[in-house]
Each structure stands twice: as structure tokens, then as C-alpha cells.
Chains A and B, each alone.
Chain A
């Protein structure tokens, strides 16, 4: 709750305030109500911003939030959990003491919780602010300054723009965090003055004032904004130069986030003590320490929401990670059924986020699964495509455990080794996952806590179950009429492609089998010809036949090698992408779920409105207030869910585009590799036959 309240950025307040005035109830209510209405696009109010607003907050404060919002929107998404917690704590304490306003102070998880909380605590000032934030964001996107002015002058425009701006969902969240801090500051300062009665107005008002003042000097504001983000980004950049600016906010790493949060939290703490201006300065100082190169990052990051697909696509192609991971030396450890395979995971990198340039760890299969579980827990609801690990194979592993040195178990081990290698490579080539502390830990840390829970369920099995369950449920219950053409097509494409790849995979598997068969039959034929040669009574012919047998023997080996290439280079590639496309569909499902949540909230809001109307008609003023509260609560929820949906849509879209590029590149690489293996086979074949030709000619 607290978090949400904190977040509400200044610019919105304007619109809300007018309503407040009109509604005339508690400041809080007024705020919420107005804000909601704005969101809905019926821009009601916002005429004359309250004077309070003007008075309180200094420009600096305002600029900060704005800057934060603009610059870091995407980051916040990830960061939220820690940041929000702190903020909440700070915030919640005072609030609780002061009033009942904040009903549910506990901040649990990152984004969703935050959103919910905001929604849930309608009465609290916090809530009122949250909506404000939303509206503010749109403003940010377009011309910040102009919008602000508009807001003040023409309420209706603002509202409409606000709705349009909704699409920039991800950005808002960030904005919230920053705002929170600012607000917190204010809260701390001002609450003392007038906490009890109109804590919200005061809080909210603070920022709005800034808006006004700054509206005129928008340019400056923007610059401020940029500075702030730069700093944050800069730090990132320093740590992990690999992440390109192009990768939008969503891709920022956790590590980075946490640091950012630290900065913020410290800042907030300090702020609470100091005046906002001071905070600002401190922040600036902090930022100043950061190197300059971040600037482009900041600018790019501030754009993301408005970026076109083409831009995204272009940007993606630039990604290149100086990070090589190889898995070698599979080694059986232990005996009997407790035996397991350990793999050497070697990393070679120039990324500064790692402690050294080369390092090696030993990992077992369940560690790989554990990594996947961790990643999917953290990131799947964000809409990232998390590369699935290879499937657990009880049969294959049992063979290995029982431990006869037979070729099939050697093949199994090699197959798994290669699959794990590709799995890791895919993870680190994901700009966001690379930044995950768990990934780094997996690659770097000597001893990893034993992954639990992976034994019973293999990663892929787990994924399958999850997919199936969600598929079944969502297909039955969710009837989403897709508004977004891109998604509409993409979902269809992915499904088609998966089917096609499945078919193709079957064909390639059959090629592998037939080639193995050919290899076997060639071997048998070679033996048979050798026998025939030994029976042949013409010496030259006998010799030629046994030579032919040798040639066929070699060709058999060639076929066998080629079958391995068919399998490892081609078939496994397809199998990987079939699994990856499954993961992509999982992302679409996550998005659909977010949509469903939004729609549910929308329906609920509708109901609440209807009941309010009834109450109005029945003339029951005592319950009317409660109904209004509920409406504002649900309006906030709708806003939040909608934002969340937009955010996840943006992330999924971005990640899918990235995935497509990666896929095309991967396929090209593998196909070339495969054709080269064929080429090599044919070249050998020429050699063998050319060597045989004189033998055949020598038959007399």
C-alpha cells in the first residue's frame, strides 16, 4: 500500500485535485475518484490545481520523480520488490500511526503486490496518488511539459492522453518507485503538519506544484530526468557493459536493480530527515560519480514505450555477448542409484560483472534444473522467454548409473552435455537473464546449495504440466478477443511453427534412423563382400573385393558420423526449438492471464458502479460512501491490471522479437554447420572411392 501511495507522481494530482474540490468529501476520496475517472478516459476535472500543491514541493522534487519515471520505468518492474519493501516500511510506519488509511501495509512481492496493495487501500492517500502516477506517465511519454500545461488547462485532453499513455505501462511502475520516495519525503515532512485530515492532498499536492512551476521550464526538467537515469544506468553499464542500451528497461538486471534500490532507499532515508532539495543534491552527487557513457542509455531507456517494432528489431541485432560457456568432462560421481553426472561448466568472458575472466565450476543435472526453476519463478510472470532445460530421462540416466560402458549411455551423456551447453548459452544470451544473480551464481560460485524439488519433477516435465494446466484452464475459461494485431498473428504463427517443426523433427528423426540403418547395412555388406572376396578364385578380383570391403567399412563409419551430425546438429536443434516455442506460448499465456485479471477487475468495477447507481436511486447516502470507496478501489485495480497487462505485453513482444532473431541466427548457424558436416562426408567419400578406383581397374 505504502508503496503505491508513495509512487503517485506529481503531475497527476492536478487532475485529481479539482475533483477533490468538487467531490468535497475527504481529500483522499476525491483523489481516488477523480483519478479513476481520468483513467477511464472521461476526463472530468482538473481545472484549478489546489494551491497546496503549488506551495509545498520544490521543483527539485518534482523533477526527480519525473526523471525517474522517464528513465527507469522498465527497471522498476523488476526492482519493485525490494524497493517497495523498503518504501513500504518507511511509509507504513508513519501511516499506521497516523491513521487507518493504510489498511494493508504488508508489501509482499514485486509488481503484482504493489499494484494490488495500491488498489486495496483506497482510502489511503497512497492510492489516490497511484492513479495520478498513471496519468502522469502518459505525459512523460509525449511532451512532458506540454502535457502538464494541458492538464492544467484542458482537463479533457489530459484524460484522453492519459488513456493513450496507458500503453507505456512499464514505465509507470518505475515512476511509482521514484515517486514513492519523493512522496515519502513529503509525507514525512508534511504529514506532521496535516496528516490526519488530508494527508493525501498534501502529499499529492506537493508534487503537482512542482509540475506547474516546471511546466514552464520543461526542458530543464527533462534534463534533470535524464541525468538521474543516466546515473543509474551508468552504474549498470560499468558493471555489465554487455547489456546494450538498446535493451529496454525490462532487460535491466536484478543486481543493478538492487543497487539502484539501495541508492534510493538510502536516499529516502536521508530524505526523510533532510529536505527534498538536499536529497536531490545527494542524488545528483551520486549520479555524478557515475561515468558519462550512460547518457545514451538513459535516453534510449526513456523512449522504449514509444518505440516501434522495427526499432526494436534493429536494436536487438546488435546484441553480442562476450561470454563463452562450454560444458565439458561429464563425470560419473558415486555408485549405484545414487550416482550422478557432474559437468564442468567453464565460462570465459570479458564482462565486468564477473569476478574473473575465466572460471570453472562443477554442476550436476539437478543444478541446471534448479536454475530453471529459480528463473521461471522470478521471471515468467514478467513475460520473459526462459529457455527450458533438457528433459530428465530416467531411462537414460539409469543406464548410465548401472554403468556399463555401452555406446548408448555414452551417447546419452553426450547428448545431455550438448543440450545443457545450449541451454546455458541460451540463458546467458538473454540480456535480462544474464543479469540475474542466480545465473551469475550458477556460473561463478564454487558450491551451490543442492537444488531441491527437481528430483521428482524434471524441469521439462514441470513445464509441461504447468503449460498443460494453464492451457487447459485458460483455453476453457479465457476467451480473449485479441485487440493487438501483432499478438494475434504471432500467437498463430508460433502455434503453426511449432506444429511444422514437430513434423520436421519427425522427418529428421527418421533420417537419423535411416542413416543409422544404412550404416549398419553397409557394415554388414562390407563383411559379406569380404567373405565373397575370400571365396573368389581370381586373385585380382579377390583383392579388389576385399578392398571394396574396406572402403565400405570406412563408408559405414562415415554414415555413422553423419548420423550423429544429423542428430546433434539438426534434430536436436529442432527439439530445442520445439521446447522453446512451448516456452513462448507460456509467455503468451502469462499475458493472457494478465488480461484476464484486468477484465475481471473491469467487470467488477462495472458491478460496483451499478450498485452505486442503485444506491443513488434508492437514496441511501449512508451506503453511498462505501460504494464510492469501492468504486475507487476497483478503478485503481483496473488501472493497475491494465498497466500490468500492457507491461507484460510489451515485454513479451520484445522478448519474442529477440527470440525470433536469435532463432533465425541460430538456425542459419546450425544449418551451415550441418551442411558443412555433409560436405565433409562427401569429400571423404570422394577420397575413398578415388583410392578404390585403381583397384577396380587392376582387376584382370
Chain B
């Protein structure tokens, strides 16, 4: 989990946005992934000491849709209502690189060799970055499940990990998609409705305020961070283009000028590499962290909603019981109902309190880890740039 992104592209680079309990009994990682057209096939590798698995070490191929299926089944499990359900990984987005690839194909004839090479380089770098990111978010999802005392025992989860055939999960059809959309609408409306319900517990009252506020802020920060890293990427791309343009200028020259141009082109090429790293590390360490927690906080909010729903139900059942008593009709049934609601609510509150507390700790640790890593990387890259620049300046001055 704690593998730190390293300079070598070969090495599997993973950053973990969540701190997970280190439980050696079930370790999951995604050592490999294959991108075929718009489908990404992940190899999910599991190492375990649990006897519920048939083998201690195995790998299965899984697609993004399988992850979504897993997430959905967990959400739909009533028993998990009191838990923060790890947010599903976002759909792999290869739009950026694909667009570039398209441009590359189109412009191949019109571009100079240098431009083409530069463009290809850019494409590869971008593709790699997206790929890394995609693998990372999927891995994190599984790790969150595996490290959770309840989810790690989930049957569907085990099937997901162990079943060595394609899961061939059926994609949601249009009706279901619409159903999901409708459910969301209802939920939102319901949230507004039950927001009037008076909170009885100060802890939850506080959590609610905090999460509402925090989710707005972190969403904003994530968006801004994304913009920032994107423009950083643009700067790196510009370095690349400048290097290319300098090279082609040098190609047509044959004076003393040529040497300077070539050297500068070289410097810009190297600067691009460093700057690219800076941008993608920022993206991985900072933007991804913020994005992940935006989703995670949403999950926490969902938990609060479910609890609030339960509270509202309980209050309604109280009212129904009062009414029944007044009318002297169906009292037993109403009492039963009220009891169940109270039970459910209490259960939700209890596990919700635990979950939220651990969520807070997890968040702090994750922020710490990522911020430290990012800072260290920033320093490292800046130092690289410094020595690179110093060397180049010496060289230029020398001749």
C-alpha cells in the first residue's frame, strides 16, 4: 500500500489515498492492467491467509464494470447501512490521450519529424499518467474493502476476488439507469424533507455540519487543484514544443548560433521531463487525494442520510403509535414497528459513530502521508532542476 511513486516508470507506481489497517490476512493489489480500446482489464491479485479462500495466492481478471457491480451490491445490502461504503472508482477516462492520439494520426503527414516525436512523447506520458491513476483508484477501492472488518467478509467481495472466470457482469440497462437516477432524485428530495427533523445527538449534529461544509470546500479544492496541475502540464508541454522548435531552428543553421540552439533545446527537453513529473506527481498526490476524499465524504454523507432517514422513520413510527393509541387500533403492530425503527436507528447511530470517527482518523493520516510525499517529491524535482540548470549554464558559459 505504501509504495511511493518512484522515478522509474517501470516500477509500479502507487499512491494510496487512504490509510488502511494493515491486515496481513488479506492483501490485494493490481499488479497489471491491460487497456483494450475503451475497456481496461485489471489483474486483481490476492494474497491471503484466510481459510475462506481456496488458495492463498491467486489472480483474476476484472473490468471496471465488475468493480461497479461490487460497489452496487454492497450499497444495496441493508446490513451495511451503518457503514461508510467505500466510493466506487471513477470510470477510466482515456479521453485526453485518445484525443491526442487522434490528432497525432491526423497530423502525421503535416508534422515535421521532430514535432511528431514530441507529440508522441507527450501522448505516451499522458497515457501512462492516466493509466497509473486508473489502476490506483481501483486498487484503493478493493483495499478499502479488504481492510474493513465487515466488508472484508462480504460474500460478493470474495466472489469478486476469487472467481477465476470473467464475471460477465451485466451492464445496467436504460431502465435501471433511469431508476438509479430517479432514486437519486428521491433521495435528494428526501434529504431536504428530513433535514427538518430535529437532531437528537450532538455528535451527529456536528458531523453533519462539518461534512456539509467540508464537502463543498474539498470539492472546490479538488477542482482548483486539477486546474492547477493541468496548467502545469501545459507548461511542461510548452517546454517540449520549445525544445522541438529550437531543434528545428538549429537544424537549418550552421553558425555558432547552432550550438547554442541545440544546447538550449536539450535543456528544455530535460526541463520538460522534470516539469512533467512535477505535474503528474502533484496530480497523483494532491489532486487525487482531494478527489478521493470528495467521494469519500459523499459516502460519509450518505451514511448520515441513511441514519437521518432511520431517525425520521422512527419519529414517524412514534407518531403512528400515538395515533394508534388514540384510536385504540393496531397498537401492537405500531409498537412493534416503532421498536424496530428505534432498533435500526440505534444500530445505525452506533456504527455510524464508529465509522465517522475512524473516517476522520483515516482522512488525517492520508492527508499527512500524501502531503509529505508530495513535498518530498517537489523538493526532489526542484533539486533535479537546479542541478540540471546549473550544469547547462556552466556548459553554455564554457563555450
Contact = CB atoms under 8 A, between A and B. Distances in A.
A538 B389 contact: no
Interface bracket on B: 35 or more
Contacts of B237: 514
Interface in B231-287: 231-232, 234-235, 237-239, 241-242, 245-246, 248-249, 252-257, 260-261, 263-264, 267, 271
Contact of A510 (B241, B383, B386, B392): B241
Contacts of B363: 538
Contacts of A507: 238, 241-242, 245
B159 interface: no
6 contacts: A528-B221, A671-B396, A675-B389, A675-B396, A678-B271, A690-B379
5 smallest beta-carbon distances between A and B, as pairs: A511-B238, A500-B249, A699-B368, A504-B245, A696-B371
A679 interface: yes
B375 A692 contact: yes
Contacts of A518: 228, 231-232, 234-235
A514 B220 CA distance: 21
B253 A493 contact: yes
Contact of B257 (A529, A667, A679, A689): A667
A320 B398 CA distance: 20
Contact of B217 (A532, A538, A663): A532
A660 interface: yes
Contacts of B261: 667
A699 B374 CA distance: 14
Nearest to A502: B245
A283 interface: no
B239 A511 contact: yes
B283 to A, nearest CB: 13
B389 A685 contact: no
A693 interface: yes
Interface string A498-534: 0011011001101100110110011011011101100
Contacts of B69: none
Residue among B228, B239, B267 with max Cβ neighbours from chain A (10 Å): B228
A93 interface: no
A521 to B, nearest CB: 4
Given A518-B234, A676-B389, 20 more contacts: A501-B249, A504-B245, A504-B249, A507-B238, A511-B238, A517-B231, A518-B235, A525-B224, A525-B227, A531-B220, A532-B217, A536-B214, A660-B256, A667-B260, A668-B396, A671-B264, A675-B267, A682-B383, A689-B382, A699-B371
Interface string B1-28: 0000000000000000000000000000
Interface string B117-143: 000000000000000000000000000
B232 A686 contact: no
B396 A689 contact: no
B79 to A, nearest CB: 29
Interface string A669-684: 0011001101100110
A650 B237 CA distance: 44
A164 to B, nearest CB: 29
A661 interface: yes
Contacts of A689: 375, 378-379, 382
Given A528-B221, A661-B256, A699-B364, A676 B393 contact: yes
Interface residues of A, number: 57
A664 interface: yes
Contacts of B169: none
Contacts of A693: 372, 375-376, 379
Contact of A682 (B210, B252, B386): B386
A699 B217 CA distance: 20
A531 B231 contact: no
B256 A664 contact: yes
Nearest to B239: A511
Contacts of A548: 371
A514 B235 contact: yes
Contact of A497 (B231, B253, B267): B253
A477 interface: no
B220 to A, nearest CB: 5
A511 B275 CA distance: 13
A514 B312 CA distance: 52
Contacts of A531: 217, 220-221
Contacts of A517: 231, 234
B367 interface: yes
A698 B379 CA distance: 18
A510 B263 CA distance: 21
Interface string A307-348: 000000000000000000000000000000000000000000
Nearest to A562: B235
Nearest to A673: B393
Contacts of A660: 255-257
B202 interface: no
A155 B263 CA distance: 57
A107 B126 CA distance: 72
B360 interface: yes
B106 interface: no
A616 B12 CA distance: 97
Contacts of B230: 521
B221 A532 contact: yes
A537 interface: yes
A681 B24 CA distance: 45
Most A CB contacts (10 A, CB to CB) among B224, B263, B393 go to B224
A696 B383 contact: no
A501 B225 CA distance: 34
Given A496-B252, A529-B221, A538 B386 contact: no
Contacts of B255: 660, 664
B364 A678 contact: no
Nearest to A500: B249
B372 A696 contact: yes
A539 B365 CA distance: 13
A564 interface: no
A301 to B, nearest CB: 26
A479 interface: no
A535 interface: yes
A671 B260 contact: yes
Contacts of B221: 525, 528-529, 531-532
Contacts of A3: none
A33 B210 CA distance: 106
Interface string B353-377: 0000000100110011001100110
A508 B390 CA distance: 22
B367 A528 contact: no
B385 interface: yes
B397 interface: yes
A404 interface: no
Nearest to B222: A528
Contact of A541 (B368, B390, B397): B368
A452 B303 CA distance: 79
A636 interface: no
Interface string B330-345: 0000000000000000
Contacts of B368: 541, 544, 696-697, 699-700
A685 B378 contact: yes
B379 to A, nearest CB: 5
A664 B217 CA distance: 52
Contact of B396 (A525, A535, A672, A697): A672
B386 A663 contact: no
Contacts of A671: 260, 263-264, 396
B30 interface: no
A514 B228 CA distance: 10
B308 interface: no
Contact of B235 (A515, A524, A663, A676): A515
B213 interface: yes
A689 B374 CA distance: 9
A328 to B, nearest CB: 28
B235 A672 contact: no
Contacts of B231: 514, 517-518, 521
A693 B385 CA distance: 19
B217 A528 contact: yes
